[in-house]
Structure 1
Amino acid sequence: MAPPAAIEVEAVTDTTGVTVPNPLSAPIHSNEILGRRKKADKKQWGIAAPSDSKNFRLNNYEGKPKARRWDHYLSNEAKMRKGNSLKGAAKFLSKPGIISLGGGLPSSEYFPFEEVSMKVPSVGHFSEADTKDSGVTITAGKHDLVNDKSIFDISVAFNYGQGAGAAQLLRWITEHTELIHSPPYEDWRCTMTIGSTSGLDMALRMLTRPGDMMLSEAYTFSAAVETALPLGVRMAGVPVDAEGLIPSDMDSMLTNWDVNEKGGRKPHILYTVPTGQNPTGATQSASRRHALYAVCQKHDIVIIEDEPYYFLQMQPYTGPNSPDVPPPSSHQEFISNLVPSFLSMDTDGRVMRLDSFSKVISPGSRIGWITGSQQIIEIYQRHADCSTQSPSGMAQLLLFKLLDEHWGHAGYIDWLIHIRMEYTKRRDTILAACEKYLPKDIVSWNPPMAGMFHWMQIDFTQHPDYPAKSIETIEEEIFMQNIEQGALLMRGSWFYANAEDRHDTLFFRATYAAAPAEKIEEGIRRFGESIRKEFGLENGTNGIVIGKRKDRD
């Protein structure tokens, strides 16, 4: 590490630099990242150029602990993967004067794209209407790199690439990860994915074997269950409360694990969505995350931290008809008010964090990234090189032009603050509708702090036909009644981590992400009407429940 009096030369652009006093130990701010970049060799940006996210980190991590190694959990598949030898040869393409007759890289001469343009919001003017009227058109040309117009162009992005993704976007992703999470160990790395579901699939192939069980919330993302089951991996649901996973219950489950009773060895992976969890909407507090991390240390658990909703953390809910809470006054306030991630407290390298642009930019980009220890990331990249090959170059180019060249890190934080406030309005809309239209002696809920989902519990014991009708039958009848009323909400049973476990609760999940405010309100009104019909309640004026019930049969 350089002494305090040392100076370093850092890049302002990719070809020039300025002298900055000891930047490597200073806090990172969103508007300073460009000036703190290390000067890059132009060959770093070439076709299929290998890259290591270590080269894009802004701070010096000497003296910090190294990640633990996870050889004892690696699958045979992970141990056997040697990577793609042809992609390994790509490192020689940057040798000056080399004539390549080796790789099967098609010439960009035959790419039928001369340039690609898109109209995007200018910083601070993010609404759809503002973008239509005053948005900025940004353009990527075929040969911008060789013409020194940009470090990323069509000739590079639209050709084959590495499993880690293009260095140009990987640099931005690494900087963003460091800005938000600042992982506290030395050998952390980032690599791109084609989305978090694919990332989970590869993680399970790397770290599990058929017959294993994996911990998760008792109600969890259904696609995670459906990804795991064909690999022979079953979920072991941990009880949850309003803050998500309950650490004492997880500790007790692991301490008392009975292989014969459970039908699988003691789990060594926790899959969790800590923020705005799908489907419950629960957000783990900082203290809850620290307690869960301690349990994982005690039982040597690898944490797969799936965080597509991390930046959909909303303003505090202050109740119906309360004044709006103003937005964060600065980037630093926004970042410091985010619930700390597992990655930010991970001194062991036991966290494999899945990030995605799906919920904050667009799902169709099919680009996300993983942050983890060097060992895990290198194995993941070898897997990607022989399966997904690389994230879409077209999508990478569009995101690079938007995030790096147009918005920059500061503009992206402004965008995240914008969508934070927009989702807060949507959340408040659905909560106001629930207060207005739902019979609160039958339906209860906790206001979500983050994410896209509102989780409502139904007191099925008040159903006039209970217990003659089972929970499952009552859920089915409510669901179909809701369809008849013209609204679609998801049944809680579709999100069981393990359908074989006993469930004595009944939930429905609504989302406030997709529909405009008036349709959110109308959808909840129809849901309330379904509940009243099924439970034999009568309406008062304006659809408010009086509470009369029909007699039992």
Structure 2
Amino acid sequence: MAPPAATETNGYAFSGYTDTSTPSIKSDKLSINGVPARRSKAPPFIGGLAAHTCSDMYKSSIAGQPKAKRWDHRITEESQSRQPSSLKAAGKYLSIPGLVSLGGGLPSSQYFPIEHIDVKFPSVPHFSEEETEALGVIKRIGKQDIANDKSIYDLHVALNYGQATGSAQMLRFVTEHTEIIHHPLYQDWGCALTVGSTSALEIAFRMLINRGDYILTEAYTFSSAAETARPLGAIWVGVDVDEEGLLPSSLDLILSEWDPSIHNNKPKPFLLYTVPTGQNPTGATQSRQRREEIYRIAQKHDLFIIEDEPYFFLQMQPYTGADAPDAPPPSSHQEFFDSLVPSLLSLDIDGRVMRMDSFSKIIAPGLRTGWITASEQIVERFVRHSEVCVQNTAGTSQIILFKLLEETWGHAGFIDWLIYMRLEYTKRRDNMLFACEQYLPREVASWVPPMAGMFHWIQIDWTKHPSFGQKSVSDVEDEIFHAAIDKGTLASKGSWFRAEGGAADEIFFRCTFAAAPNEQVRIGIERFGDALRDAFDLPGRISNGLSNGSTH
């Protein structure tokens, strides 16, 4: 089965999702152009110190849509016992005109030793480093910009304590963005900012998983997710995958045939963790049909889904070979939206999906900022945990993102940036694939071109190794790994990502095309190919007049 093309239409972006199993949606969905009109009809924006905020202040009210399913039967005792922070809750009174606050612990901003911050951003559509150097926009973030009527966000607010939901300024933006892209199908959805997806995932696990519970995920999964859950006592169950990622038939079979007597007397799992787009580590992308099938199985078995989607906007055109011209950019935002495989959130009518978005892969990971989208109940429990844990996303990160996304680019410019990122990563993906075609021995190495994300998943046929039957698969994997290191290339072992841990009966390596320059990627793949030839006693490569190791 071929992987889904990024050009596969989602069928819902602006024309309405037409699956008869879901309710209809009003035709006046929020669009980028509709944001100013929406804001003009809203109550006055309040974004002062520790301003109380929630997504209901910024999203559409969709009459006739269902409310989310309740998850009381899945929320852990730890999470259920959390009460609202008394001090955070008092923040709602700070907006009262003339109120003298003697009740909180907010320090005076006059003692913040930062008067202003200057940040230079790319201007639309001049996004490259060279263009930003020449044409970039410098934004000054001052301490008293709100009082001086220069902005609705300043250092006086950003550098002080804030709400666990995130600032009103950034929550408004991500709520509008979520509605523009995903158009959730039930009434009581909302967002909350996070300190990146790893922190969000740890909170979600503690909300939903008790010690000894099982979690479903792809057979090969994001290693940090596994390492986050295991100390909490969770046990991973790997679901078979193919070129499109998680296999619905395997998921259904595991749940239908679950036998508590051979699983520590535990009932069948109710939590599915999945990375549907550009899955880490395999690079697989679930098609629309695949996502619909997974969602139906989730309904059948009453699963709750954590949809981890850092690579959602890095969906690419199909790889057509080294000599093919670069894919043209979408002709409009509409065409870009239509090219995206729809999210599980956009298919969710029950409120059984918690989606995790992140700025890490599309802006910068050091900002440690992302957001979740889920039902009101799940968001409220998430915020209760955040209040006594991370407290809130760093104010400096929030205000820098606000200055970039709100005051410099706007929603339209942000989409232009995402289109730019898609094209740039497509070029990087193509460069790695071309290098693989040139340098890897096809006798033992095979792969499926990734359709999204940052990773290329290479399978190695270890049955052709000279010591097959004498060495274990782990020993052969280790031999290849160290041979590549000796040649000067680091590639991640596939065994590091096995959901269930333990020995495997197959060998994969994960290579990223995200960080190194294109020429370094080419060199790295060439060295990896040389390491494979050495490990498998294959003849040296002769290609384009170059023999093994002749270039370095």
Q: Normalised by the size of structure 1, how large is the TM-score? A: 0.92
Greater than 4 Å deviation, 4+ residue runs: 38-43, 543-546
The question of whether the paired residues in 2 share the 8 Å contact of 1:83 and 1:382 is answered with yes
Distance in structure 2 (CA, Å) of the matches to 1:123 and 1:226: 39
Q: How has the CA–CA distance of structure 1 residues 540 and 220 changed in structure 2, closer, same or farther, with 3 Å as cutoff?
A: closer
C-alpha deviation, 1:36, in angstroms: 2.3
SS of residue paired to 1:281: coil
Q: Out of 417, 420, 423, which is 1:418 matched to?
A: 420
1:187 has 2:188 as partner: yes
Q: Deviations over 1:198-234 (max 9, x none)?
A: 1111111111100001000000000001000011011
SS of residue paired to 1:77: helix
SS of residue paired to 1:73: coil
1:197 has 2:198 as partner: yes
Q: How has the CA–CA distance of structure 1 residues 288 and 430 changed in structure 2, closer, same or farther, with 3 Å as cutoff?
A: same
1:72 has 2:73 as partner: yes
The question of whether the paired residues in 2 share the 8 Å contact of 1:216 and 1:235 is answered with yes
Distance in structure 2 (CA, Å) of the matches to 1:262 and 1:125: 56
RCO comparison, higher one (Cα < 8 Å, 6+): 2
Distance in structure 2 (CA, Å) of the matches to 1:321 and 1:113: 52
C-alpha deviation, 1:102, in angstroms: 0.8
Q: Deviations over 1:530-549 (max 9, x none)?
A: 00000001114238999xxx
The question of whether the paired residues in 2 share the 8 Å contact of 1:439 and 1:545 is answered with no
C-alpha deviation, 1:336, in angstroms: 1.1
Distance in structure 2 (CA, Å) of the matches to 1:267 and 1:110: 51
SS of residue paired to 2:383: helix
Q: How has the CA–CA distance of structure 1 residues 108 and 251 changed in structure 2, closer, same or farther, with 3 Å as cutoff?
A: same
C-alpha deviation, 1:82, in angstroms: 0.3
SS of residue paired to 2:217: strand
Aligned to 2:308: 306
Aligned to 1:178: 179
Aligned to 1:430: 432
Amino acid in the other structure paired with 1:76 = E
Q: Out of 47, 50, 61, which is 1:48 matched to?
A: 50
Distance in structure 2 (CA, Å) of the matches to 1:448 and 1:339: 14
Distance in structure 1 (CA, Å) of the matches to 2:166 and 2:29: 27
Distance in structure 2 (CA, Å) of the matches to 1:544 and 1:77: 65
1:468 has 2:470 as partner: yes
Amino acid in the other structure paired with 1:271 = Y
Aligned to 1:117: 118
Amino acid in the other structure paired with 1:300 = D
Q: Deviations over 1:338-387 (max 9, x none)?
A: 01000000000000000000000000110100000000001111111111
Distance in structure 1 (CA, Å) of the matches to 2:27 and 2:431: 44
Which residues in structure 2 correspond to 1:300-449 (within 5 Å)?
300-449=302-451
Q: Deviations over 1:317-345 (max 9, x none)?
A: 11231222211110010011101000000
Which residues in structure 2 correspond to 1:404-553 (within 5 Å)?
404-500=406-502, 503-542=504-543
The question of whether the paired residues in 2 share the 8 Å contact of 1:316 and 1:325 is answered with no
Which residues in structure 2 correspond to 1:53-132 (within 5 Å)?
53-57=55-59, 59-132=60-133
Q: Deviations over 1:120-161 (max 9, x none)?
A: 100000000000111110111111111211110000011000
Distance in structure 2 (CA, Å) of the matches to 1:39 and 1:97: 26
Distance in structure 2 (CA, Å) of the matches to 1:377 and 1:126: 34
The question of whether the paired residues in 2 share the 8 Å contact of 1:164 and 1:192 is answered with yes
SS of residue paired to 2:216: strand
Q: How has the CA–CA distance of structure 1 residues 240 and 448 changed in structure 2, closer, same or farther, with 3 Å as cutoff?
A: same
The question of whether the paired residues in 1 share the 8 Å contact of 2:487 and 2:530 is answered with yes
C-alpha deviation, 1:261, in angstroms: 1.6
SS of residue paired to 1:303: strand
The question of whether the paired residues in 1 share the 8 Å contact of 2:474 and 2:504 is answered with no
Amino acid in the other structure paired with 2:250 = D
C-alpha deviation, 1:39, in angstroms: 4.7
Q: Deviations over 1:460-511 (max 9, x none)?
A: 00001101011000000000000000000000000010114x6321100000
Distance in structure 2 (CA, Å) of the matches to 1:131 and 1:448: 30
SS of residue paired to 1:295: helix
SS of residue paired to 1:33: helix
1:158 has 2:159 as partner: yes
Over aligned residue pairs, what C-alpha RMSD do you find?
1.5
Amino acid in the other structure paired with 1:178 = E
SS of residue paired to 1:72: coil
Amino acid in the other structure paired with 2:140 = T
Distance in structure 2 (CA, Å) of the matches to 1:175 and 1:211: 38
C-alpha deviation, 1:29, in angstroms: 2.7
The question of whether the paired residues in 1 share the 8 Å contact of 2:307 and 2:356 is answered with yes
SS of residue paired to 1:63: coil
Distance in structure 2 (CA, Å) of the matches to 1:61 and 1:236: 38
Q: Normalised by the size of structure 2, how large is the TM-score? A: 0.93
Amino acid in the other structure paired with 1:117 = D
SS of residue paired to 1:44: coil
Distance in structure 2 (CA, Å) of the matches to 1:77 and 1:427: 43
Amino acid in the other structure paired with 1:384 = S
1:167 has 2:193 as partner: no
Distance in structure 2 (CA, Å) of the matches to 1:166 and 1:540: 57
SS of residue paired to 2:289: helix
Amino acid in the other structure paired with 1:368 = G
Amino acid in the other structure paired with 2:35 = I
C-alpha deviation, 1:38, in angstroms: 4.6
Amino acid in the other structure paired with 1:527 = F
The question of whether the paired residues in 2 share the 8 Å contact of 1:436 and 1:544 is answered with no
C-alpha deviation, 1:253, in angstroms: 0.4
Give the aligned length: 522
Amino acid in the other structure paired with 1:377 = V
Aligned to 1:35: 37
Amino acid in the other structure paired with 1:290 = E
Q: How has the CA–CA distance of structure 1 residues 164 and 544 changed in structure 2, closer, same or farther, with 3 Å as cutoff?
A: farther
Aligned to 2:282: 280
Q: How has the CA–CA distance of structure 1 residues 30 and 212 changed in structure 2, closer, same or farther, with 3 Å as cutoff?
A: same
Distance in structure 2 (CA, Å) of the matches to 1:509 and 1:99: 58
Amino acid in the other structure paired with 2:485 = I
Amino acid in the other structure paired with 1:322 = A
SS of residue paired to 1:336: helix
Distance in structure 2 (CA, Å) of the matches to 1:541 and 1:373: 58
SS of residue paired to 1:236: strand
Amino acid in the other structure paired with 1:355 = D
Q: How has the CA–CA distance of structure 1 residues 309 and 43 changed in structure 2, closer, same or farther, with 3 Å as cutoff?
A: closer
Q: How has the CA–CA distance of structure 1 residues 544 and 254 changed in structure 2, closer, same or farther, with 3 Å as cutoff?
A: farther
Which stretch shifts more, 482-491 or 96-105?
Answer: 96-105
The question of whether the paired residues in 2 share the 8 Å contact of 1:43 and 1:94 is answered with no
Which stretch shifts more, 533-542 or 206-215?
Answer: 533-542
The question of whether the paired residues in 2 share the 8 Å contact of 1:83 and 1:386 is answered with no
Distance in structure 1 (CA, Å) of the matches to 2:27 and 2:57: 16
